[in-house]
Amino acid sequence: MKTRVFGALLLAGALALVYADTPANCTFDDVMGDWILYETERSGKADIDCDDMGPLVHKTNVSLLYPNIAVDEYANRGTWTMIYNQGFEIKVAGRSYFAFSMYQKTGTKVVSYCGKTLSGWSRDVTVRNWACYRAVKATPVDPKVEVLPLRDTLQMSQSYKYNKQFVSQINELQDSWVATVYPHYEEKTLHDHTRRNGGKASSFLGLARAASSNVMRRLKDAMLPQAWDWRNVSGVNYVSPVRSQGNCGSCYAFASMAALESRVRILTNNEQKPVFSPQDIVGCTKLAQGCDGGFPYLIAGRYGQDQGAVLEECSPYEGKNDVCRTDSNCLRHYVSNYRYVGGYYGACNEMEMKAALVKGGPVVIGFEVYPDFMHYKGGVYHYTGLTDKFNPLELTNHAVTLVGYGVDDKTGEKFWTVKNSWGTQWGEDGFFRIRRGNDECAIESMAVEIIPIP
């Protein structure tokens, strides 16, 4: 995994691409099928280094079936899930396997080898016994070639320019939400904004959208409250303070820690109010790409279980890629379980999200950031379809934390209430509301729930 190195070069280089996460673009159909899992000796610890794999001594066949069933060669049944388009995780026979899908990047050309993985990690479910792992699909998958759009440093290092006309257009077109000009945006470059808005979004074609819900779910939904807000449950607030990620593409780390923080508050009736460290994640894990993005499932979930979170003071936020500076003596706070809401990537929808939220606490969600969203000041957001011609920003995927839902008194519009990581000056005191029930900007497609151990 050389992505972090690439991130540093990106700022220094003469010509740079803006991308986040890994450039692999694999679909459910690419991955579903029979795989051969290769593992090193199962005697490692959690700090195992899999960049340099030892001899592969274990071999297991596993079939990944629709929609999330994994069956090994001994007929043990387990589960599996895609992690967006980046890779997949398998849990079977007491072990959990994760690796990113294989890709090769030369200049702007990316080849995804979706029938192979990079080197990843295998561990037992008690997180004690580790090995390095990689997998190969039994039937080959054709490599997929994509050419990434070239953006030169010159363009991306340009300052963001006010576009008052764009803001007034938004406000003239609709009255569901209000747009404003944020003067400090001009202090940032287009590159800074791209990072702040999240990772590069794949076109959602071929990727999951909100799933339809079945009859039982609808019946259960009828028993959920009409509105919910973890900032005010019978007058009590369970949501930790809004923070600011700065110019680093660390939204996934802030959103993950925010969900963890709130859920610990809920589980301890506010006796514990921890603030966890996003820098520990930016600097220390190979499950994400530092300031170039990452995925909540792997961070709130897998990292939370594998390594655990540390408190902010143990690894204070720097807002840039850096070596891991976390003091290894700090106490770690773990997650006992995690999953995509609905059970796997592709099974999420509005009702599942409401149930997960009310039952367990805030969940980590992702959505597509269009340029109009950056100007949100209040109301119930939906994408207006307008473009900002002064500031050519890419469509990105932004991770945030769901804290509530409701129905607008005046318009009757259903909304989600969401915590952002752009400071308290932005939006509704750092929060925003967005249309609910129609998978607005794919917001109902990839929620992650976690169970922390307080």
> Which residue, 36 or 48, has its beta carbon nearer to ligand NAG?
36
Query: Cβ closer to ligand NAG: 25 or 153?
Result: 25
From 353, 364, 350, 305, select the one nearest 332 (Cα to Cα).
305
3-state DSSP assignment of residue 7 = helix
Beta bridge partners of 146: 110
Nearest distance in Å: CB 337, ligand NAG: 30
* Identity of the residue, 72 or 352, whose beta carbon is nearer to ligand NAG in the bound complex: 72
Rounded to a whole number of angstroms, the minimum distance from the CB of residue 441 to ligand NAG is: 16
CB of 424 to ligand NAG, least distance (A): 16
**For residue 86, how many other CB atoms are within 10 A of its CB?**
23
The single residue listed with the structure tokens 């004690």 is 128
**Selection from 402, 400, 393, 399 nearest residue 370 by Cα:** 393
CA dist., res. 418 & res. 413, Å (int): 16
Q: Is 193 a catalytic residue?
A: no
Q: What is the CA radius of gyration of the chain?
A: 21
Return the number of the residue (34 or 318) whose C-beta is nearest ligand NAG. Answer: 34
In whole angstroms, what is the distance from residue 208 CA to residue 67 CA? 12
CB-count exposure of residue 269 (10 Å: 0-12, 13-18, 19+): exposed
398 as an active site residue: the answer is yes
Query: Closest distance between ligand NAG and the C-beta of residue 218, in Å?
Result: 27
The answer to whether residues 85 and 26 touch, using CB atoms and an 8 Å cutoff, is yes
Strand, coil or helix: what is 168? helix
Beta partners for 249? Answer: 292
Nearer to ligand NAG among residue 114 and residue 170 (C-beta):
114
Catalytic position from the list 251, 284, 348, 441: 251
Binding site for ligand NAG (CB under 6 A): 25, 27, 34, 36, 61, 73, 138, 146, 202-203, 205-206, 232, 235
The single residue of 197, 321, 391, 420 carrying the catalytic annotation is 420
Distance in Å, CB of 146 to ligand NAG, minimum:
5
Known catalytic residues are 251, 398, 420
